[in-house]
C-alpha cells in the first residue's frame, strides 16, 4: 500500500472531467459500513448466566450510564451488592457534542450485548466514547496491560526524522501535562515538524484517574511508540484507562481549508503533488479507468484549487469515524460545486500493529480495523 504513490500533475487549464470521473467511480463503489468500535476487550474468563442477578444489575446499570453519562461526558457507578455487583463507567471524547456523545453511548450499550455476550467484564472503545463494566471495582486505578496499538501506513522521511522525533517528544509532554491537569482529562493540539507538515494529537484518560495516575498512564503509552510506531505517519495506543493518538497531516490539506478560494497563485510552481492520504481511497477506484488519474506520465489539467479540493474531499472520505465521512451524494455535490465548503477532515484510519492482553490468553481483545488499513467512504 504505502509503496504506491499517486501523482497529480498540475497545469493551469480547466478540466472538470476528471473530477466527475472520480465522482462516478466513487458512486460505483459505494460501501455501507457500520460504526465499529476501535477496540474491544471481553475476556470470557468469567461469565454470567441468563436471568441471573448479575444480568439484572447490568440491565439497570447500562441505561443509567447512558442517561447520566450524556450529561457531562462521564459517569461511573455501581449496581447491586456482593458477588452480583457490577461496576460501570462511560466517557465521551473531550471535544464532541452532547448529541454525538449520546448517540455513541447508546450504540455502545446496545452493542456490548452482541459483541461481549454474557461476560462479566467488557471494554468497548469507539471513536467518540468508551464503555467499561466489570464485576470488580476498577475506578481510580491505572489498569491493565496495553490493549492495542495501531499505526499509520507511511513513514516520515529520513531527512526530517530527527526533527520529527524531537518535535513529537515535546509535543507529547505538553499534551500529557494539559490532559492530566484538566478535569476532562482530555487534550488535543498540533505542532509543525517540517515545512508543510504538522503533527496532530489527542490524548485522554478516564476522568476517575488522578492527575498523577493520568500522567503515568499516558507515559506508559508513550513507551510503546518506538516499538510499534517508529517514525510512522500515525500512532494510536490504548490502555483501558487512557489512550494516545498522533497523526501527520501535510500542510497541503490545510491549504485547502483556509485558502480554497484562491489557490491559483500557489499552483503555478507546483508540478507534482504527492497525495499519500488519497492512497487510502485507491482501492475504490483502481479497477476503473481512474487509473489514468494516477499515471505519472500523463499530464492532467487541474487548477490548484481543484486539486486542493480533491485532496480535502479525499481526506474526508478516509476519516476514521465512518459517520464523519461524507456520503457519496455529498462527495459529488462537493466535487461539482464550489459553493459547498467541506468540513475540516479528522484523523485518517490506522492499521493494527500490536495486540496484547497480557496474563489473559483467553481474552478476545482486539483492535477492529480492516487488515490492509484501507477505509471506505460510506
Ligand atoms: C464463558 O463462555 C464462553 C462461551 O460462551 C466459554 O468459551 C468460556 O469457557 C466460558 N468461561 C467460563 C469461565 O466458563
Ligand atoms: C442516573 O440515571 C438514572 C436514570 O437512568 C437515574 O434514575 C439516577 O438517579 C441517575 N443517577 C445519578 C447519580 O444521577
Ligand atoms: C466514581 O468513581 C469515583 C472515583 O473512584 C468514586 O469516588 C465514586 O464513588 C464513583 N461513583 C460512584 C457513583 O460509584
Ligand atoms: C438508542 O438507539 C435506539 C436505536 O438503536 C433508539 O431506538 C433509541 O431511541 C436511542 N435512545 C436514545 C436515548 O437515544
Ligand atoms: C527507528 O527506526 C530507525 C530506522 O528506520 C532506526 O535506526 C532507529 O533505531 C529506530 N528507533 C527506535 C527507537 O527503535
Ligand atoms: C500480569 O503480568 C505482569 C507482568 O507480565 C505481572 O507483573 C502481573 O503480576 C500479572 N498479573 C496477573 C494478574 O497475573
Is pLDDT of 13 > 70?
no
In a domain, 63, yes or no: yes
Is pLDDT of 137 > 70?
yes
User: Residue 144 has what pLDDT?
Assistant: 67
In a domain, 25, yes or no: no
In this structure, which residue's CA is closest to atom 11 in ligand 3? 77
The pTM score is 0.67
User: Residue 155 has what pLDDT?
Assistant: 86
User: Residue 335 has what pLDDT?
Assistant: 60
Q: Confidence class of residue 138 from pLDDT cuts 50, 70 and 90? A: very high
| Burial (CB count <10 Å: 0-12, 13-18, 19+), residue 315 | buried
In a domain, 265, yes or no: no
Domain shared by 161 and 224, yes or no:
yes
Domain shared by 156 and 247, yes or no:
yes
Domain shared by 306 and 352, yes or no:
yes
pLDDT tens for residues 295-315? 333 333 334 445 556 666 666
Is pLDDT of 281 > 80?
no
Q: Under a CB-based contact definition with an 8 Å cutoff, are residues 244 and 237 in contact?
A: yes
List CB contacts of 64: < 8 A, sequence separation 6 or more. Answer: 75, 77, 79
pLDDT tens for residues 32-81? 334 788 888 898 889 999 999 999 999 999 999 999 999 999 999 999 99
Domain shared by 113 and 194, yes or no:
no
User: Residue 58 has what pLDDT?
Assistant: 97
User: Residue 143 has what pLDDT?
Assistant: 77
User: Residue 227 has what pLDDT?
Assistant: 85
User: Residue 271 has what pLDDT?
Assistant: 27
Nearest ligand by distance to the CA of 43: 1
Q: Which residue, 9, 176, 209, is CA-closest to 91?
A: 209
Between residues 356 and 212, the one the model is more confident about? 212
**C-alpha 340 – ligand 6 centre gap (Å):** 54
Residue linked to cell 493518538: 245
Residue 189: give its domain's CATH number.
3.30.430.20
Phi–psi pair at 141, nearest 5 degrees: -130, 135
Domain shared by 202 and 288, yes or no:
no
Domain shared by 108 and 181, yes or no:
no
Domain final position from 226, 256, 286 = 256
| DSSP secondary structure of 173-210 | HHHHHHHHHSTT-EEEEEEEEETTEEEEEEEEE-TTS-
User: Residue 319 has what pLDDT?
Assistant: 63
Domain shared by 123 and 154, yes or no:
no
Strand ranges (DSSP E) for the chain?
A: 7-9, 39-41, 74-79, 86-92, 122-125, 129-134, 148-151, 186-194, 197-205, 234-238, 242-250, 272-274, 351-355, 366-367
Domain count, the chain: 3
Domain final position from 134, 165, 191 = 134
Domain shared by 72 and 168, yes or no:
no
**C-alpha 201 – ligand 5 centre gap (Å):** 21
**C-alpha 63 – ligand 1 centre gap (Å):** 26
Domain shared by 232 and 280, yes or no:
no
- Average pLDDT for 8-25: 36
Domain final position from 113, 134, 155 = 134
In a domain, 197, yes or no: yes
Q: Is 312 touching ligand 4 by the criterion CB < 6 Å?
A: no
User: Residue 101 has what pLDDT?
Assistant: 95
User: Residue 204 has what pLDDT?
Assistant: 96
pLDDT tens for residues 315-355? 666 665 666 777 666 666 666 555 555 555 555 566 666 55
Domain shared by 152 and 252, yes or no:
yes
Domain shared by 216 and 311, yes or no:
no
pLDDT tens for residues 239-257? 899 999 998 876 555 454 4
Q: Is 63 touching ligand 4 by the criterion CB < 6 Å?
A: no
Is pLDDT of 277 > 50?
no
User: Residue 216 has what pLDDT?
Assistant: 94
Is pLDDT of 22 > 60?
no
Residues spanned by the domain of 102:
39-134
**C-alpha 39 – ligand 1 centre gap (Å):** 21
Q: Under a CB-based contact definition with an 8 Å cutoff, are residues 149 and 236 in contact?
A: yes
- Average pLDDT for 248-267: 48
In a domain, 100, yes or no: yes
Phi–psi pair at 253, nearest 5 degrees: -75, -25
The set of protein residues with a Cβ atom below 6 angstroms from ligand 1 is 44-47, 118
User: Residue 367 has what pLDDT?
Assistant: 44
Ligand 4 pocket test: which of 68, 100, 105, 106 has the largest number of ligand atoms within 8 Å of its C-beta?
A: 106
Domain shared by 152 and 110, yes or no:
no
User: Residue 262 has what pLDDT?
Assistant: 37
pLDDT tens for residues 146-195? 667 788 878 888 888 899 999 999 999 999 999 999 999 999 999 988 87
Q: Confidence class of residue 110 from pLDDT cuts 50, 70 and 90? A: very high
Q: What is the mean pLDDT of the chain?
A: 71
In a domain, 292, yes or no: yes
In a domain, 50, yes or no: yes
In a domain, 30, yes or no: no
Amino acid at each position: 500500500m504505502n509503496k504506491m504513490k499517486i501523482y497529480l500533475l498540475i497545469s493551469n487549464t480547466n478540466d472538470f472531467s476528471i473530477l466527475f470521473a472520480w465522482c462516478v467511480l466513487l458512486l460505483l463503489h459505494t460501501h455501507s459500513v457500520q460504526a465499529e468500535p476501535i477496540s474491544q476487550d471481553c475476556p470470557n474468563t468469567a461469565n454470567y448466566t441468563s436471568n441471573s442477578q448479575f444480568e439484572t444489575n447490568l440491565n439497570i446499570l447500562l441505561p443509567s450510564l447512558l442517561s447520566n453519562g450524556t450529561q457531562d461526558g462521564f459517569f461511573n457507578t455501581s449496581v447491586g451488592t456482593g458477588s452480583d455487583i457490577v461496576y460501570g463507567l462511560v466517557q465521551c471524547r473531550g471535544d464532541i457534542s452532547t448529541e454525538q456523545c449520546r448517540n455513541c453511548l447508546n450504540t455502545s450499550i446496545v452493542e456490548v450485548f452482541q459483541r461481549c455476550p454474557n461476560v462479566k467484564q467488557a471494554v468497548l472503545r469507539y471513536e467518540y466514547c468508551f464503555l467499561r463494566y466489570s464485576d470488580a471495582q476498577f475506578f481510580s486505578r491505572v489498569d491493565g496491560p496495553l490493549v492495542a496499538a495501531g499505526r499509520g501506513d507511511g513513514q516520515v522521511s529520513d531527512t526530517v526524522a530527527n526533527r520529527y522525533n524531537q518535535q513529537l517528544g515535546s509535543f507529547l509532554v505538553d499534551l500529557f501535562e494539559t490532559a492530566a491537569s484538566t478535569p476532562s482529562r482530555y487534550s488535543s493540539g498540533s505542532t509543525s515538524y517540517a515545512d508543510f507538515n504538522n503533527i496532530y494529537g489527542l490524548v485522554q484518560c478516564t476522568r476517575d484517574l488522578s492527575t498523577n495516575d493520568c500522567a503515568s498512564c499516558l507515559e506508559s503509552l508513550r513507551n510503546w511508540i518506538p516499538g510499534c510506531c517508529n517514525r510512522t505517519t500515525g500512532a494510536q495506543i490504548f490502555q483501558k484507562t487512557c489512550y494516545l493518538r498522533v497523526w501527520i497531516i501535510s500542510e497541503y490539506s490545510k491549504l485547502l481549508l483556509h485558502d480554497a478560494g484562491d489557490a491559483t497563485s500557489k499552483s503555478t510552481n507546483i508540478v507534482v503533488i504527492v497525495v499519500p492520504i488519497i492512497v487510502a481511497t485507491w482501492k475504490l477506484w483502481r479497477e476503473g479507468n481512474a487509473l489514468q488519474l494516477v499515471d505519472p506520465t500523463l499530464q492532467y489539467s487541474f487548477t490548484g484549487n481543484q486539486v486542493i479540493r480533491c485532496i480535502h474531499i479525499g481526506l474526508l472520505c478516509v476519516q476514521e469515524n465512518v459517520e464523519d465521512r461524507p456520503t457519496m451524494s455529498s462527495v459529488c455535490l462537493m466535487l461539482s460545486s464550489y459553493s459547498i465548503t467541506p468540513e475540516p477532515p479528522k484523523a485518517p484510519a490506522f492499521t493494527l500493529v500490536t495486540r496484547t492482553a497480557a496474563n489473559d490468553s483467553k481474552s478476545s481483545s482486539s483492535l477492529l480495523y480492516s487488515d490492509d488499513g484501507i477505509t471506505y467512504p460510506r
